[in-house]
Amino acid sequence: MSKVQNRNNFNEPIQNAPPEIKQIIMQVLKIEKDRLDKNELGRINEDILKIVKEAVQ
């Protein structure tokens, strides 16, 4: 399997997700990217929980 096919398979669940789930995924990816950019090793569980709770309400 080529790298392009692997990349497409990786993105497929995000592309096919309902809008609410896609929003959660994108927000979690953003906070994880921000955390990695800042070289922070702290936990982000509280941030993820907050994102999910806001999406459910």
How does pLDDT run along the chain (57 residues), one tens digit per residue?
A: 566 566 667 778 888 889 989 999 989 989 888 888 887 766 778 888 888 888 888
pTM: 0.67
pLDDT at 1: 52
- Extents of the domains making up the chain: 3-56
pLDDT at 18: 92
First to last CA, the chain: 41
Q: What separation in angstroms does the CA of 51 have from each of 23, 24, 34, 40?
A: 9, 7, 15, 19
Contacts 24+ apart (CB under 8 A), 24-29: 24/51, 24/52, 24/55, 27/51
| Residue 7 CB burial class (10 angstroms; 0-12, 13-18, ≥19) | exposed
pLDDT at 55: 87
